[in-house]
Amino acid sequence: MSPSRGRRLGAFVFLSPGLTYLVVLLLVPLAMVLSYTVFQRGRFGGVVYEFTTENFTRLFDPLYLGVVVESLKMAGLATLIALLVGYPTAYLITRLPGRWKTVALVMVVLPFWTNFIIRVYAWIILLSGEGLINSGLEAIGLGPYELLYNQGAIVTGLVYSYLPLMVLPLYATIEKLDPQLREASANLGASGFTTFRRVTLPLTLPGVMTGSLFVFVPSLGNFVIPEMLGGGKSSMVGNLIRKEFLSARDWPFGSTLALALIAALLVLLVVQAWVARRA
Amino acid sequence: MRSSRLLHIPFWLTYVFLYAPIVVLVVMSFNSGESAYTYEGFSLKWYGELAQNELVLKGLVNTLIVATGSTLIATVLGTLLAVGLARHTRSKALEALALMPAVLPDLVIAIGLLLFFGMIQLTLGRYSVVLAHGLFAMAFVAAVVRTRLSGADTSLEEASRDLGAGAVTTFMKVTLPQLAPGIVAGALLAFTLSLDEFVIAFFTIGNLEQTLPIVIYSMIRFGVTPEINALAAILLLVSFTAVIAGQRLTKIGESRAQD
């Protein structure tokens, strides 16, 4: 066997099983989602293959547009809070001595590898009327407050679930930063805050973008947290998609909502790549 | 440094924020009372209740079948894919495709698979979830194995090929043993991910069966009980153990690769 034929055979043996799996269970399903957006709904779920643009017009119905705007707001707020908490945390981790650095990083990531439902459930216990936070507040003569089943609870749940995804990329970029740059800035008379604003922050902007993307994207498409912590009162795009597929049975419109979600994600990816290239 | 000390507040806040809910949940699982909120005393009775809960036991069996099946698929296909991508192609597009299941929102993958399984008229149940979890777990296994491959020394593989061994023989006798720690770490990761996955399972399992995360989800809708806390505490322990074991394995692999 000639070496080049051996090479091609190797490529085939190693790549074809996984790629077949990816084509059948990823690309074909995605193509189906895409195609459903221009068809009409079947009476009991499914699809009728007749062309329509109605799904896209419906997307701009104030009712759905309102949900989209609301989701963007909540996902944005969760991202901002995660950034404000995550940046100083990541910064301090880079300053820790070697062994503690690993421990601190693992401690940040560990909750992320546990069951998502359980992590959200834990907040029901904490925030509920009889929960620990309200009991504590009562002990000092405050409350009880309605902490659960509102937008604040949803944002808390989102920050809690995705904070590790903010800290990791921030840590990676801050760690790479040359400490001499900060020293030079300080030696030239800049205050700590000025150094941060003019040197550290601009140089770690790619990490800020990546972390924000990692928090924003899963927040936007989430339906579990709004349902469990929002009490179903306020819904997000994820809830709409879930409803269209599992109860309203309007698969074409559900697919259109999903396409909108993917489009938002692609726009953000392009922005992130642009920032990364400029930095 | 004054500014640095100010930073300690958000730093510690992060860790309190991350662990307080978990600690409260575990403590409440040992509550002797009926409430998931007010601690009355130590008891293991809710763990006992769990062992008699039909729904939980069925969920456990389904979860184990799904996690084992999808881990097998993901480990075999993911490892082959990683070797193929590292040694047999330079295509950036294929590399992106292999990572896609890990990057796309789970909800998008879930509805795509729901439509697809509907089209091929596959009966929804735990076996459709095996296929679904195999997909995203494969991406993670491929990524983990890939990282080990790019750091590995290729001279042994080249020597094997120069001595006349084919691609498959070289893989079985040289590459695979070198990769073993990475593959085991990847498999562990796949197993943990499947164990904990909710969204895709929720969409692709149909109405007749449930995995453990789905059991918890539907139990919560009927109210919060210490029994859910007990189940949650067990699952947390399993995930933590698997992650730490995976971490250890990766470290062993690294130190061996340096020798």
Q: What is the CATH number of the domain that holds B85?
A: 1.10.3720.10
pLDDT digits (tens, 9 = 90+) for B33-87: 887 777 788 888 889 888 899 999 999 999 999 999 999 999 999 999 999 998 8
Nearest to A245 among B7, B114, B134 (CB): B114
Alpha carbon distance B149, B159 (integer Å): 17
pLDDT tens column, B179-223: 888 899 899 989 989 998 999 999 999 989 999 999 999 998 888
Q: Indicate whether A40 belongs to any domain.
A: no
Give the pLDDT mean for A33-51. 87
Question: What pLDDT sits at residue A5?
Answer: 66
Q: Looking at the partner chain, which of A17, A113, A254 has a beta carbon nearest the beta carbon of B192?
A: A113
B144 interfacial to chain A (CB closer than 8 Å): no
pLDDT at B3 over 60: no
Using the beta-carbon criterion (under 8 Å), do A119 and B112 form an inter-chain contact? no
Residue A145 has pLDDT above 80, yes or no: no
What is the domain range of residue A209?
59-278
Q: Name the residue among B8, B80, B108 with its Cβ closest to that of A17.
A: B80
Q: Report CB contact under 8 Å: B25, A224.
A: no
Helical H segments across chain A, by residue range: 3-22, 28-36, 54-59, 62-95, 98-109, 116-127, 132-139, 151-176, 179-187, 192-195, 201-203, 205-220, 224-229, 237-246, 251-278
Inter-chain residue contact B105 with A265, CB threshold 8 Å: yes
Domain contains A23: no
Is a pLDDT exceeding 50 seen at residue B94?
yes
Q: The domain spanning residue A217 has which CATH number?
A: 1.10.3720.10
Q: What is the pLDDT of residues A50-101, one digit of tens each?
A: 888 888 999 889 988 888 888 999 999 999 999 999 999 999 999 888 889 8
Torsion angle of alpha carbons A92, A217, A277, A87, nearest 10°? Answer: -10
Cβ–Cβ of A26/B229 closer than 8 Å? no
Is A207 inside a domain boundary?
yes
Q: Does some domain include residue B69?
A: yes
pLDDT, one tens digit per residue, over A149-204 is: 888 999 999 999 999 999 999 998 898 887 787 778 878 877 777 888 888 888 88
| A66-80, B15-29, B157-171, range with the lowest pLDDT | B157-171
A116 interaction partners in chain B (CB closer than 8 Å): 196, 198, 213
pLDDT band at B254 (very low <50, low <70, confident <90, very high): low
Q: Does residue B257 sit at the A interface (CB-CB below 8 Å)?
A: no
Chain B residues in contact with A235 by the CB 8 A cut-off are: none
pLDDT reading at B135 higher than 70? yes
pLDDT digits (tens, 9 = 90+) for A98-117: 889 888 998 998 888 888 89
For an interface test with B, which of A4, A23, A89, A105 has the most B Cβ atoms less than 10 Å from its Cβ?
A: A89
Asked if residue A96 belongs to a domain, the reply is yes
Q: What is the pTM of this model?
A: 0.88
Average pLDDT in chain A: 87
Q: B105 and A217: CB-CB below 8 Å?
A: yes
Q: Is the pLDDT of residue A6 over 70?
A: no
Model pLDDT, residue A235:
79
Q: Judge whether residue B1 has pLDDT over 60.
A: no
What gap in Å lies between CA B165 and CA B217, rounded to an integer?
53
Q: What is the domain count for chain B?
A: 1
Residue in B11, B79, B129, B212 to test binding to A, most A beta-carbons within 10 Å: B11
Q: B2 pLDDT exceeds 50? A: no
Would you say residue A45 lies in a domain? no
In a domain, A240, yes or no: yes
Q: Which residue from B54, B70, B100, B58 is spatially nearest to B204, judged by alpha carbons?
A: B70
Is residue A46 in a domain? no
Residue of B2, B75, B108 to mutate, testing the A interface (most A Cβ within 10 Å of its Cβ): B108
Contacts of B17 in chain A (CB under 8 A): 85, 160, 163
DSSP line for A8-44: HHHHHHHHHHHHHHHIIIIIHHHHHHHHHTTEEEPBT
pLDDT per position as a tens digit, A220-231: 889 999 998 987
- Domains held by chain A: number: 1
Structural domain for B110, as ranges: 47-258
Q: Kindly state the percentage of chain A with pLDDT values over 70.
A: 96
* Residue B205 belongs to a domain: yes
| Residue B206 touches chain A, beta carbons under 8 Å | no
Which chain A residues have a beta carbon less than 8 Å from that of B88? 7, 10-11, 14-15
